[in-house]
Structure formats: C-alpha cells, structure tokens
C-alpha cells in the first residue's frame, strides 16, 4: 500500500511544479507588457508591437505543460526583441527629428547657401524623409535631389538662389509622389539656372581680372616707352571696354606714331606704326608720296628692329613681363595707315605741337 501512494504524490508534485512554472512565465510576460504600456505613456510617439497571445493551459499532461511554458518564454523573448527594435527606431527617429528641426531652422535662416553646404545638410534629410516616405508611399526623391545638388557643388561654389531653396523646401514637405516629382524637376531646372548664373559670374570675374592685368601691362609698356624717349598718351584716355589704345610719339620721327591696341580677352598687344596726316598740305605730289613711303618704310624697319621693339622687350623683361613679338608682315610691305593728330589725345597733341614749334624755331634761327 505504501509504494503506490508515494508514486502518486510524486506525479502530483511534478504537475504542480510545471503548472507553477507556466504561471510564473505568464506573470513575467504580463508584467513586461504592463511596463511597456507605462513606458509608452512616457514616450509619446513610440509605437510598440502588438502583445503576443498567450497559450491556454487546459491539460494535466506534464510534457504539454512544459511545452506551453517554453512557448510563453519564447514569446517573451521575441516580443522583447521587437520592443528593443521599436525603442531603437524611436530614439533614432527622435534624434533625426531633432537634427531635422535644427537643419530646418538653419535652412530657413539661409545658413547653408552654397551647393556643397546643402549637400551636407541634405544627407540627414535624406534619411529622415526616406523613413517618412515609407509610411506615405513616396519614392526616395531626396536621394535624387542629393545627386542633383552634389553635381552642382562640383561645378559651382556660389550661393544657390532663393528659387532653388524653395524647390528643396517643397520637396521636403511633399505629401505625395506627384508633388515630390514636380519638386525634383523644379529643383533640376533651378540648379541648371544657378550653374549658368555662376558660370556667367566666373566669366565676368575672369574678364575683369584680364582687364586689370592688361591695364597694368599697358602702364608698364608706357613707362618703358617713356624711358626710351617716347612721349605716350595718358592711359586714363584709354577705353578698356573691348580693347584699349595707347599712342606713342617721338620727336626723331615727327610725322609718325605708334598705336598700341590691347585686347584683354586674348592677352594680345598689337603695335601698329602710323603716319600722321599733314593737315597743312591739301594736295600731295608724286614726289612727296614717294618720299612719304620711303619715310614710312624706314620708320617701320626701325621700330621692328632691335633698336625699336627689341629695346621695349628688354625693358619689359626687366619688369617681369615677357613680350612675344610676332611680325605679321615685312617692314615696308604694307602701307602705313594715315591718321589725324587728334588720335593722340589732347595731352600728347600739345606736347607734339610744342616740340614741333621748337624745332621750327631752331630751324629758322640757323
């Protein structure tokens, strides 16, 4: 009688232990669920997974009770992993949201103005909007915008226009795919306009630099010619719009002058020998014409020789400017252009007249 009774007590104890283990597992899971609900109240916006459905226990079969207990334990572990993932996403989104709010304030304050700055600002925006788009079914338009602005940053360091910022803002607040697509196309057009505007700005800057450089070269050439005994028209009379002009005259050649034409966009200086018109003579005889041509050729040869442009090159080289002289025609091969004295400008005209009058007086006194 004592043997069977002991066996029955052992079976009942095992059943009780397993049942209590199942109940403990259920209580722990329920406590965790309750704690998660309280946590959700303190973290607005936290979305937790649906709680698991607990298995029912309507058996006295010990192996089945053990299986149910293991099932509850596994449910608790799986649910905790889902909660941990939700918490991680929540905090990530919160940090992203704070970054986006800060970015938005910076963006609206126009703190990011260049294309490269906007690329850096759009990188967190791309992540934020990508997550947002998953919920509302938008394609990742910000990634496309990032490519567009990044392409612009490689070509231009200038400020993006207000229209471009408006297109970016429209993209970030788009509520559907159609709005986002329109915003991207608008952004593409605005960036193209920005690039064109930046290119024009660079070209104007380069032209201004070329002009300033050429004016400096003109001043150096004028100084060199004056050191060589030439009288030079004032640079302030030179109009550097498309090209500039300076005239040089020397008393040894009273009826000739040099015309220097400066073209900034080609870094080009043209030296053009000229004949001064004799306004006192209305008709020129054949003999005078032959004499003029002979004088023109001598002046042309003198200027193209080492005693003319050669000395100017040496003087300029000492000033750190290398002049490469290209003679496009043999001296005397092309008839010199005849120009009125007024091309010399008021200052040089007065100097020339004074010297010529002085020479006439000397000639009369001989």
Instruction: Give tens-digit pLDDT for 80-126.
Output: 999 999 888 888 777 755 665 565 555 555 555 555 555 555 555 55
Residues in the chain: 366
pLDDT for position 145: 63
**Residue 52 CB contacts under 8 Å (≥ 6 apart), including other chains:** 29, 75, 76, 78, 79
pLDDT for position 284: 61
Same domain, 24 and 84: yes
CB 97 within 8 A of CB 47: no
In angstroms, what is the C-alpha Rg of the chain?
A: 46
% of the chain at pLDDT higher than 70: 70
pLDDT for position 245: 76
CA 140 from chain centre, in angstroms, equals 25
Whether residue 221 is contained in a domain is answered as no
- SS3 label, residue 232: strand
Same domain, 252 and 355: yes
Judge whether residue 138 has pLDDT over 50: no
pLDDT for position 177: 64
Same domain, 71 and 9: yes
pLDDT for position 77: 92
Same domain, 141 and 22: no
**Residue 359 CB contacts under 8 Å (≥ 6 apart), including other chains:** 251, 254
What pLDDT, in 10s, does the model give residues 190-208?
877 877 887 888 888 887 8
Question: Which of 140-144, 174-178, 207-211, 354-358 is most confident?
Answer: 354-358
Judge whether residue 167 has pLDDT over 60: yes
pLDDT for position 143: 57
Same domain, 46 and 131: no
Record the pTM.
Answer: 0.48
Round to whole Å and give the CA distance between 286 and 283: 10
Same domain, 61 and 176: no
pLDDT grade for 58, boundaries at 50, 70 and 90: confident
The pLDDT of 139-163, averaged and rounded, is: 59
Same domain, 233 and 345: yes
Round to whole Å and give the CA distance between 39 and 46: 9
Whether residue 212 is contained in a domain is answered as no
Whether residue 54 is contained in a domain is answered as yes
Whether residue 320 is contained in a domain is answered as yes
Whose CA is closest to 269, among 225, 332, 331?
A: 225
For residue 270, give both structure tokens.
Answer: 């043209």
Write out the H or E segment, with its range, that includes residue 148: helix 141-155
Same domain, 262 and 353: yes
Round to whole Å and give the CA distance between 220 and 228: 12
The pLDDT of 344-358, averaged and rounded, is: 83
Identify which has the larger pLDDT, 94 or 317.
317
Same domain, 73 and 175: no
Whose CA is closest to 192, among 162, 235, 152, 163?
A: 152
Judge whether residue 234 has pLDDT over 80: no
pLDDT for position 172: 65
Same domain, 246 and 352: yes
Whether residue 217 is contained in a domain is answered as no
Question: Which of 194-198, 278-282, 312-316 is most confident?
Answer: 312-316
Whether residue 294 is contained in a domain is answered as yes
pLDDT for position 152: 53
Count the domains in the chain.
Answer: 3
Same domain, 165 and 61: no
Whether residue 97 is contained in a domain is answered as no
pLDDT grade for 333, boundaries at 50, 70 and 90: confident
Identify which has the larger pLDDT, 268 or 150.
268
Dihedral sign computed on CA atoms, order 16, 17, 18, 20: positive
Count Cα neighbours of 351 within 13 Å in the Cβ-side half-sphere: 16
The pLDDT of 150-172, averaged and rounded, is: 64
What domain range includes position 239?
Answer: 228-365
Same domain, 148 and 240: no
Whether residue 102 is contained in a domain is answered as no
Average pLDDT, the chain: 75
């Amino acid at each position: 009688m004592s043997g069977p009774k002991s066996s029955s007590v052992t079976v009942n104890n095992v059943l009780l232990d397993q049942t209590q283990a199942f109940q403990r597992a259920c209580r722990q899971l329920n406590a965790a669920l309750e704690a998660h609900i309280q946590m959700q109240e303190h973290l607005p916006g936290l979305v937790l997974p649906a709680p698991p459905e607990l298995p029912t226990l309507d058996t006295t079969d010990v192996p089945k009770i053990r299986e149910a207990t293991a099932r509850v334990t596994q449910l608790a572990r799986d649910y905790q992993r889902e909660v941990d993932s939700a918490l991680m996403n929540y905090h990530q989104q919160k940090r992203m949201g704070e970054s986006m709010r800060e970015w938005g304030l910076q963006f609206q304050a126009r703190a990011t103005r260049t294309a490269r700055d906007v690329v850096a600002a759009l990188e967190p925006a791309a992540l934020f909007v990508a997550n947002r788009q998953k919920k509302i079914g938008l394609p990742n338009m910000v990634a496309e915008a990032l490519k567009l602005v990044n392409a612009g940053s490689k070509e231009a360091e200038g400020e993006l226009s207000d229209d471009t910022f408006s297109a970016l803002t429209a993209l970030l607040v788009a509520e559907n795919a159609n709005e986002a697509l329109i915003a991207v196309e608008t952004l593409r057009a605005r960036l193209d306009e920005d690039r064109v505007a930046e290119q024009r700005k660079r070209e104007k800057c380069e032209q201004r630099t070329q002009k300033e450089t050429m004016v400096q070269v003109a001043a150096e050439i004028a100084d060199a010619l004056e050191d060589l005994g030439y009288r030079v028209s004032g640079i302030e009379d030179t109009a550097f719009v498309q090209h500039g002009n300076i005239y040089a005259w020397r008393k040894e050649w009273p009826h000739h002058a040099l015309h220097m034409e400066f073209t900034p966009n080609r870094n080009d200086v043209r030296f053009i020998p000229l004949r001064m018109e004799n306004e006192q003579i209305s008709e020129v005889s054949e003999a005078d014409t032959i004499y003029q041509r002979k004088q023109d050729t001598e002046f042309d040869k003198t200027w193209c020789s080492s005693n003319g442009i050669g000395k100017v090159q040496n003087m300029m080289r000492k000033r750190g400017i290398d002049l490469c002289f290209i003679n496009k025609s043999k001296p005397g091969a092309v008839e010199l252009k005849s120009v009125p004295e007024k091309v010399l400008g008021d200052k040089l005209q007065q100097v020339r007249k004074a010297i010529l009058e002085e020479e006439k007086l000397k000639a009369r006194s001989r």
